Amino acid sequence: MSDVKLEQAQYLDKNQYRKLLPGTHLEYFDACEAVEAISPGSYKTLPYTSRVLAEQLVRRCDPEILEDSLKQIIERKSDLDFPWYPARVVCHDILGQTALVDLAGLRDAIADQGGDPAKVNPVVETQLIVDHSLAVEHAGFDSEAFDKNRAIEERRNEDRFHFIEWCKTAFKNVSVIPAGNGIMHQINLEKMSPVIQSKEGIAFPDTCVGTDSHTPHVDALGVIAIGVGGLEAETVMLGRPSMMRLPDIVGVKLTGQRQEGITATDIVLAITEFLRNEKVVSSYLEFFGEGARALTIGDRATISNMTPEYGATAGMFYIDEQTIQYLKLTGREPEQVELVELYAKQTGLWADDLDSAQYERVLEFDLSKVERNLAGPSNPHRRLPTSELAKQGISQSSWKEQHSAKYSDEQMPDGAVIIAAITSCTNTSNPRNVVAAALVAKKANQLGLVRKPWVKTSFAPGSKVAKLYLESAGLLPELEQLGFGIVGYACTTCNGMSGALDPKIQQEITDRDLYSTAVLSGNRNFDGRIHPYAKQAFLASPPL
């Protein structure tokens, strides 16, 4: 066959599944037809993840290996590598900056060889959010904490931030959200992910890799998003595929409805314990069932976010009415919302079309049995029901006992909580959790309860949206009165950026050899992570 005829044959092979998306001017690649051509009747049994992976193979894979790659998905084998082309790369400022420094160095090398350095750019859309640099040097009981902490952040990171600002205009395909705006995962959920992409006249599922282990946060939207290392992120940036084998895809059927007063944090801490025991390491999980359908995107995101804590790689939810409602709520363009629903229903990615999906392993979890939980000490999968706190000697058993203890309000007790932080992408992306915390604060204020002088309190929402709805509800002053004023929009305590303690408190801990602790609404509580003087840390919902 001549070279021309060979090229034509490959072109036809690659584009025979390219079709017009009904009701639009966009085209899409019909992965269902491609799969059915190889194995009739198999597409309807494929899990959600497999359908998304099949689509990108049909759209991007070399025709010579397309059939063999699709067979890996159809036959549920992991014998051969196949290419995965994520649509986006999402970075935080530390690892993201490192990747961009490499590209800047590559520009220098190109220039030294007489080439045009401006031609060195990420091929894939790259989004960098500055969220890992802010420390809580000034606590939430300081009315000027936000401005003071931001000033310190800018001073400490002047050179880094200057380079990041340069990248914003120097590189194509790079967008930057500067410091002081929120956490990468929450911004990804609220703003950056379109769920369905449309580029160059083609509609296709949004997918991304991120330089943070909690990138699966947006799996809640039905977007395959996984955390990777900096080198793999750079590979994707430059347009190279991330080679993969079909992962172990596990179905997690959520049954029942949660009890009144149970938060998404209570649920995720129970699920984390359950899934760790079920050994789902490196698996892609797909949550489904009536229990899953009743969860809001905020609740789903809390579950997806802690994917690394239960050891999996992804924690997916299907696209359904909750997805559409959330996209409307967060101000996505009406045309984009319509595209998501239309594309999902056309291609079998809508929840109703996945009733026939089959999994090699299905786990069942009953939401109605979840009680109020903490986790700790030391490990996020060590669930600790609040009903067990007194029995295990972690808290005092009664109000009377607490106030008859042999210490005054001015002397710190052994086991004191020195840090109490409402923080992290896991929980502050969930309005229900944050509003619940504010209502607890309101009740505490009504009862005349106050912060103990040794407790460093802080509130660091994942985005500025939290401040808006709390102000609208008249609840932000209640949090501020209790000492939980907004200290920044960043990872803060969850990332170990708790800031310094009051020198007098630190000295008292040392002099009296006190065993002090921290409580935070984060996702990790490993020894030494939260603060050097907090011997142990407990995870809790924002209201707890």
Find the mean pLDDT for residues 77-82: 96
326-351 per-position pLDDT tens digit: 999 999 999 999 999 999 999 999 99
> Residue 401 pLDDT more than 70?
no
Find the mean pLDDT for residues 252-262: 96
> Residue 283 pLDDT more than 60?
yes
pLDDT of residue 11: 40
> Residue 433 pLDDT more than 90?
yes
Residues 6+ positions from 349 with CB-CB distance below 8 Å:
48, 51, 52, 205, 222, 318, 319, 343
Give the integer Cα–Cα distance in Å for 437 and 542.
5
464-482 per-position pLDDT tens digit: 999 999 999 999 999 999 9
Over 196-244, what HEC string results? Answer: EEEECCEEEECEEEECCCCHHHHHHHCCEEEECCHHHHHHHHCCCCEEE
Query: Cis omega before residue 47 (within 30°)?
Result: no
Nearest alpha carbon to residue 214 among 31, 478, 469, 425:
425
pLDDT of residue 325: 98
Q: Where are the beta strands (DSSP E) in 280-387?
A: 284-288, 314-317, 361-366, 373-375, 383-385
Distance of CA 510 to the CA centre of its chain: 37
Taking CA atoms, 340 is separated from 7, 58, 154, 376, 440, in Å, by 34, 20, 39, 39, 37
> Residue 400 pLDDT more than 80?
no
481-539 per-position pLDDT tens digit: 999 999 999 999 888 889 999 999 999 999 999 999 999 998 888 887 888 899 999 99
Percentage of the chain beyond pLDDT 70 is 95
117-128 per-position pLDDT tens digit: 999 999 999 999
Find the mean pLDDT for residues 193-217: 96
290-328 per-position pLDDT tens digit: 999 999 999 999 999 999 999 999 999 999 999 999 999
Burial of 158 (0-12, 13-18, 19+ CB in 10 A): exposed
218-233 per-position pLDDT tens digit: 999 999 999 998 889 9
The secondary element (H helix, E strand) that includes residue 421 is strand 417-422
pLDDT of residue 127: 96
- By the 8 A CB rule, do 224 and 52 touch? yes
Confidence of residue 46 (pLDDT cuts 50, 70, 90): very high
Q: Does the global pTM surpass 0.85?
A: yes
Helices 48-60 + 31-38 axis angle, to 10: 90
Calculate the CA dihedral of residues 165, 166, 167, 169 and round it to 10 degrees: 100
> Residue 429 pLDDT more than 90?
no
450-467 per-position pLDDT tens digit: 999 999 999 999 999 999
The secondary element (H helix, E strand) that includes residue 112 is helix 93-112
Over 3-21, what HEC string results? Answer: HHHHHHHHHHHHHCCEEEC
Find the mean pLDDT for residues 409-417: 84
Nearest alpha carbon to residue 35 among 3, 11, 7, 67:
67
Find the mean pLDDT for residues 148-173: 95
